[in-house]
Amino acid sequence: MNASEIFGLIIRCTGLALTLLGIHDVYRALIMLVQAISITSFMPLLFGVPALLLGIWFLRGAPWLLSFSYPQDQIKGK
């Protein structure tokens, strides 16, 4: 494994953690909304939805981040 593959693996593991955290926060917000609708019910969504979206992007490999970090691999691949 070279450095770019290890970096990609770290990005995907971070993506898994962010996705799980985002799912947990969205689930918690939905439970809070069912119990009582108030402004504090939406607070977990402020972090949960962006964490979920960023986590899914990281799980897909974050191609822009990897190509920015290791541009020589993109040239080698062509």
- Kindly tell me if the per-residue pLDDT of 7 is higher than 50: yes
Neighbour-count burial of 52, counting CB atoms closer than 10 A to its CB (0-12 exposed, 13-18 middle, 19+ buried): buried
pTM of the model: 0.78
Residue found under tokens 């609708």:
37
> Which one-letter amino acid corresponds to residue 57?
W
- Kindly tell me if the per-residue pLDDT of 73 is higher than 80: no
